[in-house]
Chains A and B, each alone.
Chain A
Amino acid sequence: MTDTPVLDIRGVGKAFPNVRALSNLSFDVRRGEVMAFVGENGAGKSTLLKILSGDYRLDEGTVLLDGQEVSHANPLAARRAGFRLVRQEPEIVPHVSAAENIFVGELPQRGGVVDFKQLRAEAKALLVECGFDGLLDLDAQGDSFSPAQRHIVEIARALKPGVKVIAFDEPTSSLTADETERLFALIRKLRARGLAVIYVTHRLHEVMAISDRIVILRDGRLIGVKETTATTPDDVVRMMVGRDLSYGFSRAETTRDEVVLEVRGLKSRWHRDISFQIRAGEILGFAGLVGAGRTELAKVIFGEYHRSAGEIRIAGKPAHIRSPSDAIRASIGFAPEDRKGEGLILVRSVMENASMAVFSSLARWGVLRNRIMVETVEPLIKSLEIKTPSLEQEVGKLSGGNQQKVVLARWLAAKPKVLILDEPTRAVDVGAKAEIYRLIDSLAQSGIAIMLISSEMPELLALADRIVVMHGGTISTPIEKHDASEEVILNHALGQRAA
């Protein structure tokens, strides 16, 4: 490890209309180190990354990359200079192969004709080098990629020759524990090779595990740069939020006797023989690798995907669920993982988004009664503490945490008996995350049976009363809260039952 700065950020500032996004930031990133950027939403992490990647122009200050000034680069120039950003939501071309996706814009060619042989060889070499060999079929089409595979493509793109600084923006939000380990192995390898790695995340345990130094941002200002070994998560959180906040979350058990959701012998394209029960007030956690079929199970139960066999009972009565509207009628609510793609109608208002699952109960003869809509939605906005200037605000203009709360508000309005939550805190900042945990806890307390799918172990361990692990189309027997640990769950997820 050397101490030469490869990236030198001097007095960088950036303002947007009405908002000062960054002021007078100065620090450097050295060769052979992993530098984490932490801060709540709005702290300026994304803005800083976008300045480095050339997406935004800075207003003041300079950025030196390997001694060369890149303060006013465009994305292509920043890339050529050696700064590579692994975006949180990679752009994938849907109908071309993985290999072409990796080399999009830079396809190897011979006499103007794409050299597919070389393309495959180079793509393969890149994947092997990343340690992601075997996780991605080079001939698979872009639209068939799982979120993790999309990320792998994005990482491979970044590692093409010329890279000096590589920045990961929330890289693990769609990765499983196993894939995260592979990513960490890759990052350690890159560090050993002398690259500078920037790591941006909301997940503090990852920061503690992988980084050498931590840059803490708050409200666009640099609060401090800390050696990771000389600090604790609690210290970092305190610097991030500027106040004390207990990092962990624990809840009292609220499980009651009556079984609310019972799934018996469920079979589908992805599942063989799945059976489980959730009682009133209970949170049943679903762990497993991405692609293990957890989201698909949620959608099968919710009637979005076809169920080839098996029975679903709600409060003891068989529920005939063949579509989402049947599921809603059977008192099931579902907050999907892909909030923007499947959860919300971004161009419509908070009020519409919060009330759309219960439109018909807010209407007489099909005519919506505005007063009743407001009476239904307003208390939910208040109790969930959704920050919105008005009920008419377009949902797309809210922050991630508030958007997730609007999805929750929709299902609270429907007064469900069963609530399926798929990755409820994905891309939500620390403060809002704690709020969402409290919310989920109070929902369970009110007697709702909650099916919680999460790839974040601490989240499952903190919230779930029992945890089942999905692997190979089946689920493990439930692990009681006091027996559950990250190791036990991981072993189940990897199919090593003996643990």
Chain B
Amino acid sequence: MTNMTNSSIQPTSSSNPLKAITRFVGAENLSLIIALVLLVALIASQTPFFFAPRNLMNIGMNLSVVGLLGVGMTIVIVSGALDISVGSIAGVASVVSAMLVTYVGTVLGGVAMGVLAGAILGVVNAAIITYLRVNAVVATLATLSAYRGLAFLIAPEGRPIGVLDQNFAWLGSGRILEGGGFPGVPVSLILLIIIAAIGHFVMSSTVFGRSVYSMGGNPAAARLAGINLNRMKFYIFTISGALAGLAGVLVTARTSSGQPASGTQGLELEAITAVFLGGAILAGGKGTIVGTMLAVVLLATLSNGMNLLGIPTFYQLVAKGFLLVVAVAIGQWRMARAEKAQARAAAATGS
């Protein structure tokens, strides 16, 4: 009979709360938490402003936009694709929501139309990818440009649109549970936590989520197991587009203006970096919302720290690019290590 090696046996579940946390976060993401703690210690030792309530609020508000994109991007990357048009989609949604709030006077309509606009642009991405069979990276690179142009086209004279509505602004910069020395929690952060929790549930416990993992892990096998890949791509890119739309709405609310470009440009890079840093791999089939969210917090903290320490923007851009490379390289290194271990196990058990 076949000999099972003991080398691959995983630790079984335990009642130890620390282990329970490890399981939820994922053992591979513990390094993210350690990195975060070290980073916070480093920044706090250099500047007293880091722990100022106002600064923490700022980090919270900043990370919610990237966080929303990160939720969608995790789904896309786990499925084995990439969506680099999300920043541009957010730009369009930002303009659309600002126009509705300012010219029509409907806050709810502004939010809804922003999200809807994002979803529609996501559907367009999916249509290009499935019907025209264009590779996802190329398709969304094309729409990255096209949607950015669209945002300028629909904004009157291509200018930002001011938004004065206070209810709408509350979404971006309001906070709840304020008082008694406690600075409160940003509304946008609450929104992110809700969306991320839903995302986590969808990815871990629904037919849709598990199918995303399957198609990312091996599209041929997933199709032969009855998963309709084209339909899945429509769902995935629509979700990614809708979340990018919501992120765009937040940008408008935050800055009190509908921005065709500033505030949303380059967001795709940050979202993608966060997903890879959070443990996903380019080949697909791996990655979690929890990992991405930890990475989003880490990146927002890093960015905030660099601002506090007065590091010029140009250096920050270089650092962001560097981080993406590091994130993917770590993923590749992990894969290679896992493959080696697998090869060793296979060799040990025969052909």
Residues on A facing B (Cβ under 8 Å): 16-19, 21, 39-47, 50, 56, 88, 169-170, 219, 241, 302, 304, 323-325, 327-329, 334, 336, 341-348, 352, 356-357, 359-360, 362-363, 366-368, 370, 387, 389-390, 392-393, 396-397, 399-402, 410, 427, 429, 431-432
**Partner among A42, A56, A343 whose Cβ is within 8 Å of the Cβ of B349:** A42
Q: Which residues of B contact A44 (CB under 8 A)?
A: 350
Given A368-B206, A368-B207, A19-B221 contact (CB < 8 Å): no
- Interface contact B342-A45, CB-CB below 8 Å: no
Do A219 and B3 touch across chains, with their CB atoms under 8 A apart?
Answer: yes
A348 and B285 contact, CB distance less than 8 A: yes
Which residues from chain B contact A45 at a C-beta distance below 8 Å? 350-351
User: Judging by beta carbons under 8 Å apart, are A56 and B347 in contact?
Assistant: yes
Contacts of B285 in A (CB 8 A): 345, 347-348
Q: Which of B6-14, B182-190, B241-249, B300-308 contacts A (4 or more CB under 8 A)?
A: B6-14
Minimum CB–CB distance for B199 against chain A, Å = 14
Q: Which of B7, B225, B227 has most chain A Cβ within 10 Å?
A: B225
Contacts of A327 in B (CB 8 A): 226
In the docked arrangement, what's the CA distance between A241 and B1, Å? 8
CB of B224 within 8 A of chain A? yes
User: How many A-B residue pairs lie within 8 Å, measured between CB atoms?
Assistant: 155
Q: A46-B347, A323-B228, A334-B224 are in contact. Are A399 and B2 (CB under 8 A)?
A: yes
CA distance A132 to B298 in the complex (A): 60
CB neighbours (8 Å) of B10 from chain A are 389-390, 392-393
Given contacts A366-B206, A400-B350, 7 further A-B contacts (CB under 8 A): A44-B350, A46-B351, A346-B218, A347-B286, A368-B207, A392-B10, A429-B351
Q: Which 3 A-B pairs have the closest CB atoms?
A: A41-B350, A345-B217, A42-B3
Q: By the criterion CB–CB under 8 Å, are A42 and B227 in contact?
A: no
CA distance A324 to B351 in the complex (A): 31
Pick the contact of A16: B221, B347, B350 (CB < 8 A).
Answer: B347
Interface string of B199-212 (1 = CB under 8 A from A): 00000011110110
Which residues on the A side are within 8 Å of B213 (C-beta)? 345, 348, 352
Given A17-B7, A347-B285, A431-B2, CB of A47 within 8 Å of CB of B224: no
Are the CB atoms of A390 and B12 closer together than 8 Å? yes
**B317 located at the interface, meaning its Cβ lies under 8 Å from any Cβ of chain A in the complex:** no
Segment 299-351 of B: residues with Cβ below 8 Å from A: 342, 344-351
Are A345's CB and B228's CB within 8 A? no
Q: How far is the CA of A302 from the CA of B350 in the complex (A)?
A: 33
**If the complex has contacts A219-B3, A302-B224, are A399 and B350 also in contact, measured as CB distance less than 8 A?**
yes
B11 CB to nearest A CB, Å = 10
Name B345's closest neighbour in chain A (CB-CB). A397
A389 to B9, CA, bound (A): 6
Would you mind naming 20 contact pairs between A and B with Cβ atoms under 8 Å apart? Answer: A21-B347, A41-B351, A47-B348, A88-B351, A170-B351, A241-B1, A324-B225, A342-B218, A345-B218, A346-B218, A347-B285, A356-B227, A362-B207, A363-B206, A367-B207, A387-B2, A397-B345, A399-B2, A429-B351, A432-B1
- Chain B residues with CB under 8 Å of A390's CB are 9-10, 12
- Inter-chain CA distance A346–B12, complex, in Å, is 21
Check B124 for interface membership: any CB of A closer than 8 A. no
- Judging by beta carbons under 8 Å apart, are A343 and B350 in contact? no
* Contact in complex: B2, A360 (CB < 8 Å): no
* Contact (Cβ within 8 A) A410 B225: yes
Q: Is the CB of B349 within 8 A of A341?
A: no
Bound CA–CA A271/B206 (angstroms)? 40
Complex: how many Å from CA A360 to CA B344?
36
| Chain A, residue nearest B211 (CB) | A359
CA distance A343 to B350 in the complex (A): 20
* Residues of B within 8 A of A (CB-CB), count: 41
| Contact (Cβ within 8 A) A42 B2 | yes
Residue of B207, B214, B226 touching A325 (CB-CB under 8 A): B226
Residues of A within 8 A of B344 (CB): 16-17, 19
Alpha-carbon separation in the docked complex, A431 to B2 (Å): 8
CB of B16 closer than 8 Å to a CB of A: no
Which of B206, B285, B349 has the largest number of chain A CB atoms within 10 A?
B349
Q: Does B4 contact A (CB under 8 A)?
A: yes
Is there contact, CB below 8 Å, between B350 and A42? yes
The distance in angstroms between the C-alpha atoms of A389 and B345, with both chains bound, is 14
CB contacts (< 8 Å) of B351 on chain A: these are: 41, 45-46, 88, 169-170, 400, 427, 429
For A346, the chain B residues whose CB sits under 8 A away are 217-218
Residues in B neighbouring A393, C-beta threshold 8 A? 8, 10
Tell me the nearest residue of chain B to A352, going by C-beta. B210
A19 to B7, CA, bound (A): 8
Q: B46 → chain A, closest Cβ, in Å?
A: 41
A367 touching B205 by the CB < 8 A rule?
yes
Cβ-defined partner of A342 (8 Å) among B4, B6, B211, B220: B220
Instruction: Take A348-B217, A392-B10 as given contacts and tell me if A324 and B350 are in contact as well, using a CB distance cutoff of 8 Å.
Output: no
Contact B350 A366 (CB under 8 A): no
Contact B3 A342 (CB under 8 A): no
Contact status A359-B210, CB under 8 Å: yes
The CA of A396 and the CA of B342, in the complex, are separated in Å by 7
Whether B210 pairs with A368 at a CB distance below 8 angstroms is yes
Note all chain A residues with C-beta closer than 8 A to B54.
Answer: none
* Closest Cβ neighbor of B350 among chain A residues: A41
User: Which residue from chain A places its CB closest to the CB of B8 in the assembled complex?
Assistant: A397
CB-CB < 8 A to A302: which residues of B? 224
- The distance from the CB of B337 to the nearest CB of chain A, in whole angstroms, is 13
Query: Bound complex: CA of A170 vs CA of B351, how far in Å?
Result: 9
Within 8 A of A (CB), among B1-42: 1-10, 12
Minimum C-beta distance from A221 to chain B (A): 13
A356 and B214 in contact, given A387-B2, A397-B8 (Cβ under 8 angstroms): yes
Name the residue on B nearest A50 (C-beta): B347
Question: Cα distance A264–B54 when bound, in Å?
Answer: 75
Q: Does B195 contact A (CB under 8 A)?
A: no
**B207 cross-chain contacts in A, Cβ below 8 A:** 359-360, 362-363, 366-368
Nearest A residue to B348, CB-CB: A19
Q: Who on chain B is nearest to A395 by CB?
A: B217
**Residue from A42, A241, A336 having most chain B Cβ neighbours under 10 A:** A42
A399 to B5 alpha-carbon distance, docked (Å): 10
**Is A42 a contact partner of B348 (Cβ separation < 8 A)?**
yes
Q: Is the CB of A347 within 8 A of B347?
A: no
B221 touches A342 (CB 8 A): yes
**Contact present for A343 and B211 (CB under 8 Å):** no
Let me know if A328 and B217 touch, CB within 8 A: no
Residue of B4, B10, B12, B347 with most chain A CB atoms under a 10 A cut-off: B347
Q: Which residues of A contact B12 (CB under 8 A)?
A: 390
A18 touches B5 (CB 8 A): yes
Q: Which residues of B contact A367 (CB under 8 A)?
A: 205-207
A167 to chain B, nearest CB (A): 13
Contacts of B210 in A (CB 8 A): 352, 356, 359, 368
Nearest chain B CB to A370 CB, angstrom units? 8
Interface contact A389-B221, CB-CB below 8 Å: no
Q: Are B225 and A402 in contact (CB-based, < 8 A)?
A: no
